[in-house]
């Protein structure tokens, strides 16, 4: 059974959740930890001879230490790169939190030191007209790893997300500051200082901008900028 399980979310879509998750997995690998990961829903999948495949889910598959089939890592694969609930409607499928919880519980039964479950978009992304993705970690009672992109507006988005997580009865176990865009943020040190003082959880790392590193090698390159000890001390 997975010893530690965390749900990875972001303040918005496109903030680098998968790269951060993969970097955490690589950091754990370097410490001799056995790791698992899953992305229960992935939209924006491409067709392959094996079926629909998502680049983020494939990156997670390469970053874990244990051997898992793609369909276990990404049980709900959707074609259009749009909001999951809309992509599901277009595909004639119905998403429910309970079904996703079942997938996640099945993964938790596997032996590992660390399991990361990556969400989609931000904390309140809809699954259907009644449920948001937040219902999944809430039902599982999972601590959360929050990815914050260092760009204009990130303080507001980060604090609102932290408040929503707390309102749902969950805790932020740690957060990672990421640079998903090449532009340099104005007043970045002041922003980091504010976030560090006001997010009630340890900062696991500030990831630098990637330059000249392939997507496959990026998680390994970024792993050295992380301190994942808090994830195993809790």
Q: Which two tokens stand for residue 233?
A: 């001390």
Query: Catalytic: which of 4, 17, 33, 39?
Result: 39
* Listed residue (227, 229, 217) closest to 19, CA to CA: 217
Q: If you ran DSSP here, which 8-state letter would residue 90 be given?
A: H
- Radius of gyration of the chain measured on its C-alpha atoms: 17
Tally the residues of the chain. Answer: 234
Q: Which residues of 56-81 are buried (b: 16+ CB within 10 A; e: fewer)?
A: bbbbbbebbbeeeebeebbbbbbeee
User: 39 an active-site residue?
Assistant: yes
How far apart are the C-alpha atoms of 21 and 176, rounded to whole Å? 10
Q: If you ran DSSP here, which 8-state letter would residue 54 be given?
A: -
10 Å CB burial of residue 186 (0-12, 13-18, 19+) is exposed
Beta strand spans in 165-217 (E): 172-178, 203-206
Task: For Cα atoms 208, 67, 143, give the angle at the middle one, nearest 5 degrees.
Answer: 55
- Residues with a catalytic annotation lie at 39
């Amino acid at each position: 059974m997975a010893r530690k399980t965390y749900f990875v979310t972001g303040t918005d879509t496109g903030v680098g959740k998968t790269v951060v998750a993969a970097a955490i997995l690589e950091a754990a690998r370097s410490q001799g930890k056995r790791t698992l990961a899953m992305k229960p829903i992935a939209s924006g999948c491409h067709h392959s001879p094996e079926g629909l495949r998502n680049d983020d889910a494939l990156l997670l598959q390469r970053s874990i230490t244990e051997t898992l089939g793609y369909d276990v890592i990404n049980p709900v694969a959707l074609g259009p790169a749009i909001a999951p609930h809309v992509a599901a409607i277009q595909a004639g499928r119905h998403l429910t939190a309970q079904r996703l919880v079942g997938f996640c519980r099945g993964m938790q039964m596997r032996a590992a030191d660390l399991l990361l479950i990556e969400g989609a978009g931000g904390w309140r992304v809809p699954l259907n007209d009644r449920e948001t993705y937040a219902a999944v970690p809430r039902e599982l009672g999972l601590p959360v790893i929050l990815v914050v992109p260092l760009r204009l507006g990130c303080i507001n988005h980060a604090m609102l997300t932290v408040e929503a997580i707390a309102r749902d009865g969950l805790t932020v176990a740690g957060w990672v500051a990421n640079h998903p865009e090449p532009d340099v943020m104005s007043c970045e040190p002041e922003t980091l200082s504010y976030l560090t003082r006001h997010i009630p959880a340890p900062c696991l790392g500030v990831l630098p901008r990637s330059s000249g590193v392939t997507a496959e090698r990026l998680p390994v390159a970024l792993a050295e900028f992380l301190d994942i000890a808090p994830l195993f001390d809790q």
